[in-house]
Amino acid sequence: MKSIVTGGAGFIGSHLVDKLLNMGHEVIVLDNFSTGRKQNLEHVRDQIKLIECDLSSKSNWMKEFCGVDWVFHLASLADIVPSIQNPEGYFRSNVDATFYVLEASRQANIKRFVYSASSSCYGIPDNYPTSEDSDIKPQYPYALAKRMGEELVEHWAQLYNLPAISLRFFNVYGTRSRTSGTYGAVFGVFLAQKLANKPYTVVGDGNQTRDFTYVQDIVSALVASAQSNQTNKIYNVGSDKTVSINRIVELLGGEKIHIPKRPGEPDCTYANISQIKSDLGWYPTISIEEGVDKIIKEIDYWKDATVWDQNSIADATSDWFKYLDK
């Protein structure tokens, strides 16, 4: 079997590469290293074909799809504020690139296509747990661009019979998550603060809950999707539980301070995963306690990460309040 992983040097992608190699696959990684790190693939560098390229335009990278069985399209730009500040870059990376990856896959007649979508498309949901048929209400360009990519995948599956599945990930965490760049996901922020012996910056009262899903469970959902005969389907991928930010602080240990609650953020994220359980037989297996323990054992990965405080967060999120506080 031969697989392509776009964004394979990134957080989720590098874990997927490990899994595919363990399954005996020949693996090609396409990455522009805008957020991915070569360090994430150092341990398998001699086992993969690694190509640095820009997926948002036609180029020689498209030739790599010839003879490929599975394509996992994980490459994208994430984060809320940068997408507000640079919508063009996000649409190039998350929409244009998805178009070209789909076209390369269609022309090569690949066997399975799996797209990493985002639960951010739900915005602030009306119902919990949130099912796949819930209203789509993206609040910022990142969420919109990921949804538009998902619509492209649906269209290629419907019109061209591309055997494709989209997975809406909920609050992915784990080892190798991004350590650089803008203010982002709570675990990366907290782990850098823990290493620096600084207080955790908890948004609001900390009672808001998230469906934290460990990266190994995400990888198993990706593989289960490729192994299935389902097509033109969208599935939520979550932990089947929801955990408060205050509970995360308890598990990590340490002091906390509170910063202002942000507009456009839900008080809860919680995936209804009954559909993926039924169709693919997939279940999450890593509890939040086990996942946090795994991260703490590898906490030195975040030693060079930005250490955020109240003032730097206020500066970094000023556009968040400017555009979403309506």
Domain residue limits at 131: 2-172+212-237
Same domain, 88 and 98: yes
Same domain, 46 and 179: no
Average of pLDDT values for 250-266?
Answer: 93
In a domain, 325, yes or no: no
**Sign of the CA dihedral with 87 first, then 92, 96, and 98 last:** negative
d(CA 82, CA 77): 9
Query: Residue 291's domain is classified under what CATH number?
Result: 3.90.25.10
pLDDT of residue 320: 86
**Angle at alpha carbon of residue 124, lines to 80 and 180, rounded to 5°:** 20
In a domain, 60, yes or no: yes
In a domain, 137, yes or no: yes
Output the pTM of the full model. 0.97
In a domain, 281, yes or no: no
Same domain, 17 and 34: yes
In a domain, 326, yes or no: no
pLDDT in tens, 121-171: 999 999 999 999 999 999 999 999 999 999 999 999 999 999 999 999 999
Same domain, 146 and 67: yes
- State the catalytic residues: 142
Same domain, 168 and 183: no
Same domain, 102 and 141: yes
Average of pLDDT values for 246-263?
Answer: 94
pLDDT in tens, 37-58: 999 999 999 999 999 999 999 9
Same domain, 94 and 185: no
Average of pLDDT values for 101-118?
Answer: 98
Average of pLDDT values for 92-113?
Answer: 98
d(CA 92, CA 55): 9
One-letter amino acid at 129 equals P
Same domain, 32 and 146: yes
Same domain, 62 and 167: yes
Number of domains in the chain: 2
In a domain, 264, yes or no: yes
Same domain, 140 and 262: no
In a domain, 320, yes or no: no
Average of pLDDT values for 192-213?
Answer: 95
Q: Is 127 helix (H, G, I), strand (E, B) or coil?
A: coil
Residue 133 has phi, psi (to 5 degrees) of: -90, 10
Same domain, 56 and 193: no
Q: Provide DSSP, 180-218.
A: SSSS--HHHHHHHHHHTT--EEEETTS--EE--EEHHHH
In a domain, 257, yes or no: yes
Q: How confident is the model at residue 182 (pLDDT cuts 50, 70, 90)?
A: low
Query: Residue 89's domain is classified under what CATH number?
Result: 3.40.50.720
pLDDT in tens, 72-99: 999 999 888 999 999 999 999 999 999 9
Same domain, 40 and 159: yes
